[in-house]
Amino acid sequence: MLRTFLSITLCCLLFSTVHAYNPDDERYIDNLMSKMSLDEKIGQLNLTMGGDVVSGTAEAAKIESLILKGQIGGFFNVKGVDAVARFQHLAVEKGPHGIPLLVGADVVHGYATVFPIPLALSCSWDSAAVAQMARISAIEATADGVNWNYSPMVDICRDPRWGRVAESSGEDTYLGSVLAKAYVEGYQGNDMKSDSSMMACVKHFALYGAAEGGRDYNGVDMSRERMYNYYLPPFHATVEAGVGSLMTSFNLINGQHATACDWLINGILRRDWKFNGFVVTDYGSVDELSRMGIAHDNEAAAMALRAGTDMDMVTGRYVADLNDALKKGLLTEKMIDDACRRVLKAKQRLGLFDNPYKYCNTDRVNHDLYTPEHRAVARDIAAETFVLLKNDNNLLPLKKKGRIALIGPLADAGNNMAGCWSGYCYPESHKSVLTAFREAVGNEAEIIYSQGSNIYYNETMQADCDWGRRISRVDDSSAHSEALLAASKADVVVVAMGESCEMTGESSSRADITIPDTQRDLLKKLVATGKPIVLLLFTGRPLILDWESENIPSILNVWFGGSEASDAIADVVFGDKMPCGKLTTTFPRSVGQIPLYYNHLPTSHPDHDSSRFNPYCSNYIDVSNEPLYPFGFGLSYTTFSYSAPTLSSDVLTADGVLKISVEVTNTGMFDGTEIVQLYINDPVAHIARPVKELKAFKKVDIPAGKTAVVDFTVTSDMLKYYDAELNYGCEPGEFSIMIGPNSEELQKLDFRLR
Ligand code: BGC
């Protein structure tokens, strides 16, 4: 310990005497860059991946050699502070100019303590909870050597077939922007130089969530109006919140690759939004430029750099090709200098020049990870994210008595709870629902367990979505029978089914988004027994639940709730906590309705009767236009009633304000929490505007029998949009304002903007 301390102190002293300027000063970077060769500057633009970097492995040797040659600005996916410290020491003590390294990781919804997946977190509509989860993630990740985090993902997603919807905040631009800011503030803290802050990297710029057909990595063709109004604002919100870095996306945008898109990166991001951080590619994107017909092999690196992409993730092409490209006149030396300066400034913002070892405190790792305090917060937050979709006859909450059958392939699968992107946690120590239920009921009730089925009948399909082989394979036919026997002995049946955790996340697109075959068959057999059934639905995306919504009395969507999910599920199922989450993505009735999102534009020949097919109307012969569960929807164990809202005036001036007020009464038996939502519609404008758009919301605790007065302030800023010429503003005229518990059950008032 003393030795580490002395060596750290000595290195810091050495460091500050080598460079004459204060490490915080711009001149410090000028001075450093004046000593760097062109190749060393290009080296700062190279990001390599770690892997198994125990001393002596080929992976470790590769990183060591890059460090010694000055050909690396940072690395990612290296697990553990010891390895990080080793490389950091090498860079500072033996690398050219002693420049410290960025250490990246995908800490997407927690590190050792895992929180619900981002889609679930968004269903809490709680920016303070998101900021708290991000802060805890930062405390834990920085204790293990990470200083740069590839989160938040702020892609707007209107297609649940896309597996990465799980990593998003859903389909709404306003909510997505509010939460995007909270992530950044939580990761970066008040002071990015604090040793428990890490630099956020917002991703994926841009439009990745609109991949055609919901198939990952697919291209996007989109109007500028749609980009500016719906897809770009969450990125802009993170820039305004001071995000330090940004990652480009894999997709084509109108035929150009996002990584080499000058109007997007140099234009919108840097010129218009004044982003002063640095830009990194996504994994291997520079190689993709040539594979996707955008650039010749040896021109791809120059093309990406010219567009404003500073750092190359894993291809090594910047190091291999930029020097030659400069000689060929494909770029200027200034472009390399600018990119290098931005990467060095990121290191400066993190305080790495003051103390390169600030994230190498091997002591912290023993105290700051997976602490009881962090886990307690994760448990509370998880309960906030569950969405009660249905609860006939108040079947939930269950009483802790009698015999409860717990059935399903996800009932005893603690290591399936964390969800995608949870590579730094301890899945073997995550409790299963079965254990949590048994602990919750103690001797008061009996829990009868049966796995009941596989995820899929087909073994290969199951293996493809259960890489960790977390769910044991069983014989479906005998498992179904065993489950029916368990159900026959029980007073109530709780079924834990849905997706295994690798069915969402990167590359996990699905064309059929129902509950997989063998599980749904078992569910049908269980329903036929006539027992009351609660479905605990595990999923990373909206599923098609047409049959379930007709036939299952209670459905609690629990997503992937993180390391403490099972305790949180028990808390809610047995009524120790109230469900209060609301959907942030529309649940369609049929995959054929996709894309289906609440803030759509008006159509020609609008449908006037959703109960049947109407010829020459914009509808389907075989399914209604209505979602199964709309955006903003979620029940509670209690009920709320809304009074008629009132507006302070029916005229708003450009710089004035209106107040809209509504009384919300808790009319049920339990104290509860309601998320009150406000939407606006501009019925006639320069370009057609959506039928409604979320513009504000409030989450309020209301004790049983009590009434809360919920007020919102409306300003003309809330009415602004980008028109076809990309002018941003609002037009005088009529507007509607709607208030209610979700995007469908709304009360409307009109006002005029003067
Ligand atoms: C993903 C990114 C991620 C990166 C590094 C890519 O495949 O698209 O979201 O940050 O890998 O792990």
Q: How far apart are CA 644 and CA 463, in angstroms?
A: 53
Q: What is the dihedral of CA 161, 163, 166, 171, to 10 degrees?
A: -40
Centre of ligand 1 from the C-alpha of residue 247, in Å: 9
Contact 583, 577 (CB under 8 A): no
Say yes or no to pLDDT of 17 above 90. no
* Residue 345: closest CA among 24, 679, 751: 24
Q: Where are the alpha helices (DSSP H) in 251-408?
A: 262, 285-291, 300-307, 317-327, 333-349, 364-368, 372-385
* Token reading at 643: 């009074």
Q: How far apart are CA 431 and CA 410, in angstroms?
A: 12
Which of 283, 420, 424 is the pocket-test mutation for ligand 1 (most atoms within 8 Å of CB)? 283
Q: What percent of the chain has pLDDT over 90?
A: 94
Say yes or no to pLDDT of 10 above 70. no
Contact 750, 648 (CB under 8 A): no
Q: Where are the beta strands (DSSP E) in 71-210?
A: 74-78, 102-105, 148-149, 199-205
Question: Which of helix, strand or coil describes residue 646?
Answer: strand
Provide the b/e sequence for 257-274 (b: ≥16 CB within 10 Å): bbbbbeebbbebbbeeee
* Token reading at 384: 């906030």
Query: Which letter does DSSP use for residue 116 in this model?
Result: P
Number of other residues whose CB lies within 10 A of the CB of residue 618: 12
For the chain, give the number of residues: 754
Give residue 157's pLDDT.
98
Q: How far apart are CA 59 and CA 353, in angstroms?
A: 26
Number of other residues whose CB lies within 10 A of the CB of residue 626: 17
* Residue 43: closest CA among 86, 101, 103, 93: 101
Q: β-strands 657-666, 640-642: how paired? A: antiparallel
Check 106, 216, 282, 310 and give the catalytic one.
Answer: 282
Number of other residues whose CB lies within 10 A of the CB of residue 461: 14
Centre of ligand 1 from the C-alpha of residue 481, in Å: 42
* Token reading at 111: 């590190």
Residues sharing a CB contact under 8 Å with residue 333, sequence separation 6 or more, in sequence order: 38, 326
The radius of gyration of the chain's CA atoms, rounded to the nearest angstrom, is 27
Centre of ligand 1 from the C-alpha of residue 282, in Å: 6
Centre of ligand 1 from the C-alpha of residue 311, in Å: 14
Q: β-strands 312-313, 102-105: how paired? A: unpaired
Average pLDDT over residues 645-658: 98
Alpha carbon 587 to its chain centroid, in Å, reads 18
Give residue 267's pLDDT.
98
The CA-based angle 734-740-744, given to 5 degrees, is 85
- Looking at the chain, the number of H-run helices and the number of E-run strands are 23, 27
Is the minimum distance from the CB of 288 to ligand 1 under 6 angstroms?
A: no
Tokens 């909870």: give the residue.
Answer: 129
Give residue 596's pLDDT.
98
282 catalytic residue (yes or no): yes
Centre of ligand 1 from the C-alpha of residue 167, in Å: 11
Name all domains of the chain by residue range, CATH numbers in brackets: 1-99 (no CATH), 378-593 (3.40.50.1700), 640-753 (2.60.40.10)
Q: How far apart are CA 644 and CA 622, in angstroms?
A: 36
Which of 75, 79, 249, 282 is the pocket-test mutation for ligand 1 (most atoms within 8 Å of CB)? 282
Alpha carbon 64 to its chain centroid, in Å, reads 33
pLDDT in tens, 635-648: 999 999 999 999 99
Q: pLDDT category, 16, cuts 50, 70, 90?
A: very low
Say yes or no to pLDDT of 3 above 60. no
Q: How far apart are CA 502 and CA 506, in angstroms?
A: 9
Q: How far apart are CA 680 and CA 718, in angstroms?
A: 8
Number of other residues whose CB lies within 10 A of the CB of residue 704: 13
Give residue 585's pLDDT.
98
> What is the number of the ligand 1 atom nearest to the C-alpha of 203?
9
pLDDT in tens, 392-419: 999 999 999 999 999 999 999 999 999 9
The pTM of the full predicted model, rounded to 2 decimals, is: 0.97
Say yes or no to pLDDT of 13 above 80. no
Q: What are phi and psi of 5, to 5 degrees?
A: -60, -45
Cis status, amide bond into 595, omega within 30 of 0: yes
Contact 540, 557 (CB under 8 A): no
Average pLDDT over residues 693-716: 98
pLDDT in tens, 492-530: 999 999 999 999 999 999 999 999 999 999 999 999 999
Residue type (1 letter), 658: L
> What is the number of the ligand 1 atom nearest to the C-alpha of 201?
10
User: What is the SS3 string spanning 283-295?
Assistant: CCHHHHHHHCCCC
Q: How far apart are CA 365 and CA 145, in angstroms?
A: 9
- Cα distances from 151 to residues 70, 136, 187, 335, 461, in angstroms, run 27, 14, 9, 26, 30
Is the minimum distance from the CB of 263 to ligand 1 under 6 angstroms?
A: no
Return the residue whose CA atom lies nearest to atom 7 of ligand 1.
Answer: 283
Q: How far apart are CA 366 and CA 23, in angstroms?
A: 30
Say yes or no to pLDDT of 8 above 50. no
Say yes or no to pLDDT of 43 above 50. yes
Give residue 53's pLDDT.
77
* Token reading at 672: 């509860």
Give residue 675's pLDDT.
99
Burial status of residue 724 (CB atoms within 10 A of its CB: 0-12, 13-18, 19 or more) = exposed
Give residue 57's pLDDT.
86
Tokens 């702020």: give the residue.
Answer: 154
Is the minimum distance from the CB of 150 to ligand 1 under 6 angstroms?
A: yes
Is the minimum distance from the CB of 282 to ligand 1 under 6 angstroms?
A: yes
pLDDT in tens, 233-258: 999 999 999 999 999 999 999 999 99
Say yes or no to pLDDT of 753 above 50. yes
Give residue 21's pLDDT.
86
Q: pLDDT category, 30, cuts 50, 70, 90?
A: very high
pLDDT in tens, 569-622: 999 999 999 999 999 999 999 999 999 999 999 999 999 999 999 999 999 999
* Token reading at 175: 């909510």
Centre of ligand 1 from the C-alpha of residue 28, in Å: 32
Centre of ligand 1 from the C-alpha of residue 700, in Å: 36
The H or E element containing residue 419 is: none
Give residue 356's pLDDT.
97
Burial status of residue 350 (CB atoms within 10 A of its CB: 0-12, 13-18, 19 or more) = buried
* Residue 306: closest CA among 260, 270, 341, 269: 260
Average pLDDT over residues 726-736: 97
* Token reading at 63: 């990183």
Residue bearing the bigger pLDDT, 50 or 624:
624
Say yes or no to pLDDT of 178 above 90. yes
* Residue 37: closest CA among 386, 346, 340: 340
Return the residue whose CA atom lies nearest to atom 11 of ligand 1.
Answer: 283
Q: How far apart are CA 410 and CA 382, in angstroms?
A: 17
Q: What percent of the chain has pLDDT over 70?
A: 97
Average pLDDT over residues 208-219: 98
State the chain's mean pLDDT as an integer.
Answer: 96
Return the residue whose CA atom lies nearest to atom 12 of ligand 1.
Answer: 106
Q: pLDDT category, 19, cuts 50, 70, 90?
A: low
457-465 contacts, C-beta under 8 A, 24 or more apart: 457/517, 457/518, 461/516, 462/500, 465/499, 465/500, 465/502, 465/503, 465/508
pLDDT in tens, 428-486: 999 999 999 999 999 999 999 999 999 999 999 999 988 887 899 999 999 999 999 99
Contact 112, 424 (CB under 8 A): yes
* Token reading at 277: 């951080």
Q: What is the dihedral of CA 285, 290, 293, 294, to 10 degrees?
A: 70
Q: How far apart are CA 350 and CA 100, in angstroms?
A: 11
Is the minimum distance from the CB of 283 to ligand 1 under 6 angstroms?
A: yes
Question: Which of helix, strand or coil describes residue 505?
Answer: coil
